[in-house]
């Protein structure tokens, strides 16, 4: 089969690799129907992660099951399923407490397992990991469903962790796919007013408004703080959803919350250090972290299948796996919001 392989910084190509084989009774093999490139894959692409050379990559996919291990009873060949961005056993204390993202036996796709940017994926702990669809989806539904693997679930984790409540003024920091999905999530939870701080890309700003943002600003740092104070009568936002993960973004995000406000972060943190003394003075609470995506997929499925939300609009480019190098180039240059990878 072919799969994306990380050869070194700015060098990811679709190569011929061995077909996956079931190694343990709890596993299945999935034929990927749709995969994606994530903003977090860019850390690896740019050589800023600890990914080993020649490792696989990609952690978002929807696929059809083509082989099942002897211990798998709840899934069968032909079922279509969504894979959360991390596999988990469903049985350890972390999983049982609702945190499959911290599963003792779990792991990320790619790295030392098959990646989601490939033709097939061997899925460990398949019954606990995969979310099976009741029926095979239309091709048109695939983009929306694919976002549940990561970005829409992660956006919902931001809104849930920040406890967005009806009527709240919510700020979203970041206009990447996760930030845009966080707008949808804040709206679903009843935010009264949604204000986005992102870049200057007109396509991202338009999508933010389409998803429910009332205001979209490209201001950063102190300018963002002043802009928000102007919009909120000097007080700041009830909730802030930090969807970038950089130190500068996090620092700005903290200044946007009102006294007693709630900030949630879901972007992979890079160099972020929290000054607790600042939190002490403002009583701003901070929560969030690595999204337990497996937990959000089932509750979000009816919203997606019923057409209530269309997070799949974040896929502004569609490319075949053979063109994965071009997919990364476009993501790296921010020429597209997110790339959907077809087999």
Quote the CA–CA distance of 195 and 178 in Å, as a whole number. Answer: 15
By beta-carbon proximity to Zn ion, the closer residue of 110 and 124 is 124
Residue 90: CB minimum distance to Zn ion, A: 6
Q: How far is the CB of 105 from Zn ion (least distance, A)?
A: 6
**Closest separation between CB of residue 295 and Zn ion, Å?**
12
Considering the complex, state which of residue 45 and residue 125 has its C-beta at the smaller distance from Zn ion. Answer: 125
Q: Is 235 in the site for Zn ion (CB under 5 A)?
A: no
Q: For residue 322, what are the CA distances in angstroms to 49, 149, 334, 339? A: 24, 22, 20, 13
- Residues 6 or more apart whose CB falls under 8 angstroms from that of 280 comprise none
Nearer to Zn ion, 95 or 186 (CB): 95
Token pair of 233 as six digits: 């009568």
Contact 105, 125 (CB under 8 A): yes
Q: Which is nearer to Zn ion, 88 or 330 (CB)?
A: 88
Compute how many residues bind Zn ion; rule: CB under 5 A: 5
The H or E element spanning position 184 is helix 177-188
Q: Does 92 bind Zn ion (CB under 5 A)?
A: yes
* Token digits of residue 257: 């919350």
Q: Which residue has the tokens 């003394």?
A: 277
Query: For Zn ion, what does the binding mask look like between residues 96 and 125, x meaning CB under 5 A?
Result: -------x----------------------
Written as six digits, the tokens of 104 are 């003792």
Is residue 89 close enough to count as binding Zn ion by CB under 5 A? yes
Q: Residue 95 interacts with Zn ion (CB under 5 A)?
A: yes
Query: Would you give the binding string for Zn ion spanning residues 59-88, x where CB under 5 A is met?
Result: -----------------------------x
Q: How far apart are CA 93 and CA 331, in angstroms?
A: 37
Report whether 159 contacts 185 (CB < 8 A).
yes
Q: How far is the CB of 296 from Zn ion (least distance, A)?
A: 17
Shortest distance (Å) from residue 159 CB to Zn ion: 25
Rounded distance between C-alpha atoms, residue 200 and residue 218, angstroms: 6
Binding site for Zn ion (CB under 5 A): 88-89, 92, 95, 103
């Amino acid at each position: 089969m072919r799969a994306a392989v990380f050869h070194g910084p700015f060098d990811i190509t679709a190569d011929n690799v061995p077909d996956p084989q079931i190694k343990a009774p709890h596993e299945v093999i999935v034929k990927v129907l749709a995969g994606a490139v994530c903003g977090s894959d860019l850390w690896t692409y740019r050589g800023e992660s600890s990914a080993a050379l020649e490792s696989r990559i990609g952690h978002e996919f929807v696929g059809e099951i083509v082989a099942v291990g002897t211990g798998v009873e709840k899934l069968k060949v032909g079922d279509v399923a969504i894979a959360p961005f991390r596999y988990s056993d469903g049985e350890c204390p972390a999983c049982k407490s609702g945190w499959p993202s911290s599963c003792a036996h779990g792991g990320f796709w790619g790295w030392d397992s098959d990646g989601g940017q490939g033709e097939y994926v061997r899925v460990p702990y398949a019954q606990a990991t995969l979310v099976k669809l009741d029926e095979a989806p239309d091709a048109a539904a695939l983009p929306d469903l694919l976002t549940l693997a990561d970005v829409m679930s992660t956006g919902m984790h931001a809104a849930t962790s920040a406890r967005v409540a009806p009527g709240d003024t919510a700020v979203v920091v970041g206009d990447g796919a996760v930030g845009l999905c966080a707008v949808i999530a804040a709206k679903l939870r009843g935010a009264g007013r949604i204000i986005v701080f992102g870049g200057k890309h007109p396509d991202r700003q338009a999508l933010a408004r389409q998803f429910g943002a009332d205001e979209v600003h490209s201001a950063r740092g102190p300018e963002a703080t002043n802009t928000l104070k102007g919009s909120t009568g000097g007080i700041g936002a009830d909730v802030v959803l930090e969807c970038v993960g950089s130190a500068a973004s996090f620092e700005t995000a903290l200044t946007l919350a009102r006294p007693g406000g709630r900030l949630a972060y879901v972007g992979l943190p890079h160099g972020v250090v929290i000054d607790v003394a600042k939190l002490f003075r403002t009583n701003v609470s901070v929560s969030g972290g690595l999204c337990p995506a497996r937990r959000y997929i089932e509750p979000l499925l009816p919203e997606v299948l019923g057409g209530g939300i269309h997070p799949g609009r974040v896929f502004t480019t569609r490319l075949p796996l053979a063109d994965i190098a071009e997919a990364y180039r476009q993501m790296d240059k921010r020429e597209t919001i997110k790339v959907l990878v077809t087999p």
